[in-house]
Structure 1
Amino acid sequence: MTSAIEFSPLLDWSILVALALVMLAVCGFALWRRLPGWWLRSIGAALIIATLSGPVLHREDRAPLSDIVLVLEDKTASQALSDRADRTADATDLLVNRLENRRMTEVRRIAVNDAEDDSGTALMAALKDAMSREPLGRIAGVIAVSDGQVHDIEATPDLPAPLHLLHTGRDSDWDRRLIVADAPAFAILDEPITLRLRVEDVGAAPSAVDAPLEVAVDGGPPQSFRVPIGVDIEIPLTLQHGGRNVLQFTVPTAEGELTDRNNASIVQINGVRDRLRVLLVSGEPHPGGRTWRNLLKSDSSVDLVHFTILRPPAKQDGVPVDELSLIAFPTRELFLEKIDDFDLIIFDRYKRRGILPALYLRNVADYVRNGGAVLLAAGPDFASADSLYRSPLAEILPAGPTARVVNQAYVPQVSDVGERHPVTAGLPDIDPWGEWLRLVEVAPERGNVVLTGAEDRPLLMLDRVGEGRVALLASDQAWLWARGYDGGGPQLELLRRLAHWMMAEPDLEEEALWGEANGQKMRIFRRSLSVDVGSVEIETPSGDQVSLDMREIEPGLFEAQYEGPEIGLYRLSNGDQTAVIGLGPAAPREYTDVMATGAALAPAITPLRGGIVALTEGVPDIRSVRAGRPAAGRGWIGITPREAFETLRVSRTALLPAWVLLLVISAFVIGAWLREGRQ
């Protein structure tokens, strides 16, 4: 039980102060006039003020409450290295047992597990959550059994008691790690880029000057190098294909190091083209002659070389040569010397006119077989005797003319194959598409018909020849859509996709396999012209094989979902398609630095004078210390008793009855009057 005198004034304190000043003045005047009863008046006045202030005796019956100690047990991935997990569990058990044997002490054992988003050890978040469930006035100490690698130190709460770290490291621990210091997300094809990385030894590492490094591209066979330890090195690299390039850097595991999980790093770089060079050769002028030019010039990544054949050699108009302002067609330079510099060649209503001899056109066919691309936008000339089909280009064209030109209105339609081909699948839904008015009838010989015209005749055919690609558009009417005739149509999107497919844009490949990672989950996609692609085979980083059935989510696009059990490089295969994908970082944050240390927690430990103790020195004793005193010493750590209590009952009693105070005050006042009256 505790007691204290409190005041419950009958009047406002400001009134009491004013009344006290008046009485002080009266008593002072009596003293100045040397009245014999001044001291009796003063005592009476003081008793009046004291009575009006309402003094009461406050009594509380209290029950003491136990102190609470929070023990944080780090169970994250880095604590599973070496024998840390066993030492952590044993030390925590012993520590909890000692605390529970102390009088008036309770223990809260809190497990700190791995975060799901690779954010590392969130020890402070666990501590904050535990503190929110306990009264702060009872927390006497916080003890963390951990390697000290805390990744949310900035979230440290206001601590009411000292924090101590019992770290699980050994003096003999060491680790070798690979750090990729600088790697671009994008790179231009066929242009060198530089990656900067470092191999680093930390802890009690054996003496070594250099270390082996293996580099693998897209899951291929690795190349080995020797690199200096502790020095930033630059690796030059040139990407060979567009789309995602997966590079894996690995340092073989050395004997005695804590872990090999930080010995590898996966870098994914998207290969992009710098400039796409296109040669556009226009033949006979027609209303849509600028369609291709406008399309290609609108793309800032395209360098366009455009020639229009306005004056063939056979034309005789009597104009003197020195008055002509036309540029001569540099056929030899373009079709013999620099043809391989172009990514795409477009013939727009071009026919044999004596400008390009058979040797040059055969060179174009060889250019396609070696990886080039040719697009033929045909007009009535394609059905004539001067058709390009009557040239060496016939060897690569997917269809030949029947010599018939269909002049009737029709609406282009996407074929069954076209519904699955990325060039025509999912074109903007303009309902209905506008009509075209002419079609050159052709007989398909190979390739895929993705658009059809009048009476289901082939309109757009795509084919692969050798390493290259060929497209045949059997009409010169695409410009009608651009002009909005009959409502127009998706001309810009169709021709853009067509041009980029021919230039091997990875996103427009009709046969492709790729994966998209989200943490440890991946979505596997397979695009194909087939109606059934079967199952996808997955090879995990440890070499296990997994087979998953793929389901069609839209025409030509199949999907499977998989959650990888490991972090690392996964190999995917389906038929002749292969891909690689990295799940999670090659070195998760938990393994970025695995050396036990107290440096990370020092900012939270120092203010309340806690301690950092290595478990190799044994589990320290527990002592009670006063707040503000050093809370750690050699072989011991301290907790601060909070002396918290629970109030069971409260009573308030007046010091004296009112009638007694009235009699006492009256006695002093009357005494002063009688004394002065005798004088």
Structure 2
Amino acid sequence: MTETVIFDPLVPWAVIAALGLLAALVVGLALWRGLGGWWLRGLAAVALLAALSGPSLQSEERAPLSDIVIAVVDESASQRISDRESQSERALERLEAEVAALENTELRVVRLGDGDEDDGTLLMTALAEAMAEEPSARIAGAVLISDGRLHDIEHAPDLPAPLHLLMTGHEDDWDRRLEITTAPAFGILGEEVALRLRVEDQGAVPDDRQGPVELLISVDGGEAQSFTVPTGEEMELPVVLSHAGMNVIQFQVPVAEGELTDRNNAAVVQINGVRDRLRVLLVSGEPHPGERTWRNLLKSDSSVDLVHFTILRPPEKQDGVPVNELSLIAFPTRELFLEKIDEFDLIIFDRYQRRGILPALYLDNVRQYVENGGAVLVAAGPDFATAASLYRSPLGEILPAAPTSRVLEEPYLPELTDIGRRHPVTQGLGGDGETPAWGRWMRQIELEPVSGEVVMTGIGDSPLLVLDRVGEGRVALLGSDHAWLWSRGFEGGGPQLDLLRRVAHWSMEEPELEEEALTATADGQTMTVTRRTLDDEAGPVEIEGPTGETVTLEMEEVAPGRFQAVYQGPEIGLYRLTQGDEEAVIALGPQSPREFAETVASGEVLEPVIDATQGGIRSIEEGLPGLRQVREGRPAAGRGWIGITPRGAYLTADVTAVPLLPAWLWLLIAGALAIGAWLREGRR
């Protein structure tokens, strides 16, 4: 029980002060006049003022509260290397025993694991959250069991008691780390991309492990190339991307004997390969309404360099106009089809017919260009069904359909085939319904398929759009010159730009339009695997993780020709995916995890915060310290011990207040003193 005197004045304190001043003047006057009872008058005044101030005796029933010690145990990834887990458990067991031996003291244990993102070790955040759940007046100290590598020191809370670090690790620990310092997200195909990297050693590196090291580089999981590089120096490495789309480049330093971990010996960079400029040659056999459609489509794409020739005056035309008076540009056939043909990514023949402008030798050169990796798109008109058809030239050897010499002039609705609904070029163009939501065309050249995939049909299910691969190149054949009707809005129009753009980009091997492909995207450690195929089914995908462990994943159809599955990767690193002949690689997690940027234990970052609370940093390797109670403001760490500050917190259970004297007794005392003063002065 605790007793204190409190005051509950009957009048404001200002009035009591004024009365006290008046009483002092009266007593002073009595003293000046030499009255013998002046001191009795003063005591009477004091008694009256005390009565007005309402003094009471307050008694409190207090229940003492226990002191709280907070222990934050770091269980992040860096704490799972070497023997740090066992060190942490031993330190926690010792701390629990020491706290249990103290009277009126409790231990709160908080375990900190890895976050969902690459945030590193948020040790101070965990400590602040633990402190927020406890009354500040009861916190007697905090102990961190960690390697000291944290990434939120700026969030250190204001500590009312000592903070200590029980540090895991060993004095002779060392580690080797590979760091990618600069890596672009995109790169131009055929041009060098500059990557900057550094191999650094941390900790107590043995003399026989210092010096240059071997660096292994592999692209898309292929065979690794070996280089010798120095340590501790930033190097610039030029890389040329091998293909469009995502290029996964893995860098790795072999594990050296004695280093802490190999988790930071490898780094993965994902660079999206893009073409700088797409060079397209468009040859129009004659002016027609659809010619502008092709030109507008290709000119609207800023990444396309278009070379367009329209044959306005064929050689057989005899109009008597002298050549020197013509303003037409001569068709540079030799330059385009012999000398510079390999510079083009796509050649489009728009209603072109043989008129002696391109000799058979040039067209045979185009055929070889396709077989060596080029692309040709033929937009056929009525001329394709005649004897002057391109099919009756050396180019006919690679065309996927043959004309029947019939030109069908009647309205019809282009429709997608079963393969067309699955093929990336035409998938989704006609909406989800069976009948496409677009306008009709008015002319079609009847074709007989020879090879390739028919993705669109027209009159009587005759092939309308046929796609084929020839050698290393690609060929597309559109059996109508009326696609421009869609762009004019005839009967509601249609996705003419989308169709022609997809056909053109498929011809130029755009990765997103590959009909047989296995791809994967990553969101943190979650991998979404997508398999595009023209088959009705897709088999399971085999996933090989960074540790070599293999998992089989079943695919589920989410759209025609598109199968997907979601996989949660257990480890950070490179994963190889295989399904039939298709392969893909993807990296999960950050390219350089913060948790493994610095793995050698150190209390340097925490030292200012701990010193401010007069706490201490103790290495578990050197022995586990004892726990003592120290007064507030005194050093809380010494040789072989750490300290906590008892807070003496309590809970008030009951409060009673009793007046020191009843009012009548104050009045009686004051009256007796006043009468005594009068009697003394009267006798005198």
* Superposed pair shares fold, TM > 0.5: yes
Query: Which residue pairs with 2:547 in the alignment?
Result: 542
Query: Which residue pairs with 2:463 in the alignment?
Result: 458
Instruction: Name the aligned partner's letter for residue 324 of structure 1.
Output: L
Instruction: Name the aligned partner's letter for residue 545 of structure 1.
Output: T
Shift in Å at residue 19 of structure 1? Answer: 4.0
1:202 aligns with 2:207: no
1:2 aligns with 2:2: yes
Shift in Å at residue 303 of structure 1? Answer: 0.6
8 Å CA contact 1:279, 1:345 repeated in 2: yes
Shift in Å at residue 522 of structure 1? Answer: 1.5
Query: Which residue pairs with 2:607 in the alignment?
Result: 602
Instruction: Name the aligned partner's letter for residue 52 of structure 1.
Output: L
Query: Which residue pairs with 1:83 in the alignment?
Result: 83
Name the CA shift for 1:277/1:34 in 2 (closer, same or farther; >3 Å): farther
Partners in 1 of 2:50 and 2:442 — Cα distance? 112
Q: Over residues 38-87 of structure 1, what are the superposed CA-to-partner deviations in whole Å (9 max), with x where a residue is unaligned?
A: 54444333332222111111112323332221222223222222222222
Query: Which residue pairs with 1:643 in the alignment?
Result: 648
Structure 1, unaligned stretches of length 5 or more?
A: none
User: 1:63 is paired with a residue of what secondary structure?
Assistant: strand
Shift in Å at residue 126 of structure 1? Answer: 2.6
Partners in 1 of 2:326 and 2:361 — Cα distance? 28
Instruction: Name the aligned partner's letter for residue 106 of structure 1.
Output: E
Query: Which residue pairs with 1:652 in the alignment?
Result: 657
Instruction: Name the aligned partner's letter for residue 179 of structure 2.
Output: I
Partners in 1 of 2:548 and 2:72 — Cα distance? 37
Query: Which residue pairs with 2:389 in the alignment?
Result: 387
User: 1:580 is paired with a residue of what secondary structure?
Assistant: strand
Shift in Å at residue 278 of structure 1? Answer: 0.5
1:582 aligns with 2:582: no
Partners in 2 of 1:587 and 1:304 — Cα distance? 42
Partners in 2 of 1:579 and 1:196 — Cα distance? 25
8 Å CA contact 2:535, 2:561 repeated in 1: yes
Instruction: Name the aligned partner's letter for residue 184 of structure 2.
Output: P
Name the CA shift for 1:329/1:661 in 2 (closer, same or farther; >3 Å): same
Partners in 2 of 1:47 and 1:211 — Cα distance? 94
Query: Which residue pairs with 1:339 in the alignment?
Result: 341
Partners in 2 of 1:143 and 1:277 — Cα distance? 66
Instruction: Compute the RMSD of aligned alpha carbons.
Output: 2.0
Partners in 2 of 1:562 and 1:327 — Cα distance? 59
User: 2:442 is paired with a residue of what secondary structure?
Assistant: coil
Partners in 1 of 2:31 and 2:414 — Cα distance? 120
Partners in 1 of 2:25 and 2:135 — Cα distance? 51
1:90-101 counterparts in 2 under 5 A? 90-101=90-101
8 Å CA contact 2:407, 2:443 repeated in 1: yes
1:488-499 counterparts in 2 under 5 A? 488-499=493-504
Shift in Å at residue 638 of structure 1? Answer: 1.4
The one of 564, 571, 579 equivalent to 1:559 is 564
User: 2:419 is paired with a residue of what secondary structure?
Assistant: coil
Query: Which residue pairs with 2:412 in the alignment?
Result: 410
8 Å CA contact 1:434, 1:481 repeated in 2: yes
Partners in 1 of 2:152 and 2:159 — Cα distance? 15
Q: Which moved more, 1:580-589 or 1:506-515?
A: 580-589
* Percent identical: 62
8 Å CA contact 2:180, 2:592 repeated in 1: no
Partners in 1 of 2:515 and 2:552 — Cα distance? 23
Shift in Å at residue 7 of structure 1? Answer: 0.8
User: 1:438 is paired with a residue of what secondary structure?
Assistant: strand
Partners in 2 of 1:354 and 1:33 — Cα distance? 146
Shift in Å at residue 557 of structure 1? Answer: 0.2
User: 2:47 is paired with a residue of what secondary structure?
Assistant: helix
User: 1:52 is paired with a residue of what secondary structure?
Assistant: helix
Query: Which residue pairs with 2:450 in the alignment?
Result: 445
Partners in 2 of 1:16 and 1:303 — Cα distance? 98
Shift in Å at residue 429 of structure 1? Answer: 3.8
Shift in Å at residue 99 of structure 1? Answer: 2.1
Partners in 1 of 2:621 and 2:551 — Cα distance? 44
Partners in 1 of 2:451 and 2:462 — Cα distance? 15
Partners in 1 of 2:197 and 2:568 — Cα distance? 30
Partners in 2 of 1:112 and 1:537 — Cα distance? 34
Shift in Å at residue 603 of structure 1? Answer: 3.5
Partners in 2 of 1:38 and 1:653 — Cα distance? 32
The one of 238, 257, 260 equivalent to 1:258 is 260
Query: Which residue pairs with 2:221 in the alignment?
Result: 219
Query: Which residue pairs with 1:668 in the alignment?
Result: 673
Partners in 1 of 2:287 and 2:74 — Cα distance? 78
Q: Over residues 553-584 of structure 1, what are the superposed CA-to-partner deviations in whole Å (9 max), with x where a residue is unaligned?
A: 10000112222333322211112111111222
Q: Which moved more, 1:470-479 or 1:579-588?
A: 579-588
Query: Which residue pairs with 1:133 in the alignment?
Result: 133
Shift in Å at residue 442 of structure 1? Answer: 1.0
Q: Over residues 508-553 of structure 1, what are the superposed CA-to-partner deviations in whole Å (9 max), with x where a residue is unaligned?
A: 1111001122233312110001111222122222333332222211
User: 1:220 is paired with a residue of what secondary structure?
Assistant: coil
Instruction: Name the aligned partner's letter for residue 626 of structure 2.
Output: D
Partners in 1 of 2:635 and 2:608 — Cα distance? 16
Query: Which residue pairs with 2:477 in the alignment?
Result: 472
Name the CA shift for 1:544/1:65 in 2 (closer, same or farther; >3 Å): closer
Q: Which moved more, 1:30-39 or 1:438-447?
A: 30-39
User: 2:621 is paired with a residue of what secondary structure?
Assistant: helix
8 Å CA contact 1:262, 1:586 repeated in 2: no
User: 1:86 is paired with a residue of what secondary structure?
Assistant: helix
Partners in 1 of 2:604 and 2:224 — Cα distance? 38
8 Å CA contact 2:416, 2:430 repeated in 1: no
8 Å CA contact 1:261, 1:587 repeated in 2: no
Partners in 1 of 2:550 and 2:63 — Cα distance? 65
Instruction: Name the aligned partner's letter for residue 267 of structure 1.
Output: V
Partners in 2 of 1:677 and 1:292 — Cα distance? 131
The one of 607, 627, 634 equivalent to 2:632 is 627
User: 1:56 is paired with a residue of what secondary structure?
Assistant: strand
Query: Which residue pairs with 1:148 in the alignment?
Result: 148
User: 1:422 is paired with a residue of what secondary structure?
Assistant: coil
Query: Which residue pairs with 1:533 in the alignment?
Result: 538
Query: Which residue pairs with 2:303 in the alignment?
Result: 301
Instruction: Name the aligned partner's letter for residue 446 of structure 1.
Output: S
Shift in Å at residue 387 of structure 1? Answer: 1.1
Instruction: Report how many aligned residue pairs link the two structures.
Output: 679
1:57 aligns with 2:57: yes
Query: Which residue pairs with 1:353 in the alignment?
Result: 355
Partners in 2 of 1:188 and 1:32 — Cα distance? 107
Q: Over residues 473-494 of structure 1, what are the superposed CA-to-partner deviations in whole Å (9 max), with x where a residue is unaligned?
A: 1111111111111111111111
Name the CA shift for 1:373/1:32 in 2 (closer, same or farther; >3 Å): farther
Q: TM-score, normalised by structure 2?
A: 0.95
8 Å CA contact 1:215, 1:247 repeated in 2: yes
User: 1:419 is paired with a residue of what secondary structure?
Assistant: helix
